[in-house]
Amino acid sequence: MANLSTEYLGLILKNPLVVSASPLSKKVDTVRRLEEVGAAAVVVYSLFEEQIMREGQALDQFLLRSTETGAEAAGYFPQMDTYNMGAEGYLTHIERLKKAVQIPIIGSLNGISSGGWVDYAHKIEQAGADALELNLYYLPTHTSLSAAELEDAYIELVRQIRARIRIPLAVKLGPQFTAIPNFAKRIADAGANGLVLFNRFYQPDLDVETLEVVPNLQLSTSADLRLPLRWVAILYGRVPIDLALTSGVHTNLDVVKAIMAGASVAMLASELIANGVNRLAQLESELRAWLEIYEYESIAQMKGSMSQKNVAEPAAFERANYMKILASFDTKTW
**Residue 239: per-residue pLDDT:** 96
CA dist 192 → 188, 210, 250, 262, 319 (Å): 5, 45, 27, 17, 29
Nearest to 216, CA basis, from 233, 203, 227, 201:
203
Residue 134: CATH number of its domain? 3.20.20.70
Domain hosting 206: range is 6-309
DSSP state of 131: E
- Tell me, what amino acid is at 209? E
281: exposed, middle or buried (Cβ count in 10 Å: 0-12, 13-18, 19+): middle
C-beta atoms surrounding 334 within 10 Å: 3
CA quadruple 218, 43, 37, 301: dihedral sign: positive
> Is 320 a domain residue?
no
pLDDT at residue number 81: 47
Spatial distance between the Cα atoms of 314 and 261, rounded to a whole number of angstroms: 12
Domain assignment present for 44 = yes
Tell me what pLDDT residue 326 has.
Answer: 57
Whether 252 and 222 have beta carbons less than 8 Å apart is answered as: no
Q: Is 333 within a domain?
A: no
Query: Going by C-beta distance under 8 Å and a sequence separation of 6 or more, which residues neighbour residue 225?
Result: 245, 247, 248, 249, 254, 257, 258
Domain assignment of residue 323, yes or no: no
* 325 inside domain: no
Low-confidence ranges of the chain (pLDDT < 70): 53-85, 116, 319-334
Domain count, the chain: 1
Q: Model pTM? A: 0.87
Residue 1 covered by a domain = no
Strands (E), the chain: 6-8, 11-13, 17-19, 41-43, 47-48, 105-110, 131-135, 169-173, 194-197, 205-207, 212-214, 242-246, 265-268
Tell me which amino acid residue 318 is. Answer: E
In 3D space, the residue among 44, 42, 23 whose CA is nearest the CA of residue 280 turns out to be 42
- Measured in Å, how far apart are the chain's first and last C-alpha atoms? 49
- Amino acid identity of 224? D
Q: Per the domain annotation, does 316 fall within a domain?
A: no
Is the Cβ–Cβ distance between 200 and 224 less than 8 Å?
yes
The pLDDT value recorded for residue 331 is 59
- Nearest alpha-carbon partner for 266 in 13, 1, 10: 13
How many Å apart are CA 22 and CA 42, to the nearest integer? Answer: 9
Q: Is residue 200 part of a domain?
A: yes
4-29 burial: b if 16+ Cβ within 10 Å, else e = bebebbebebbbbbbbbbbebbeeee
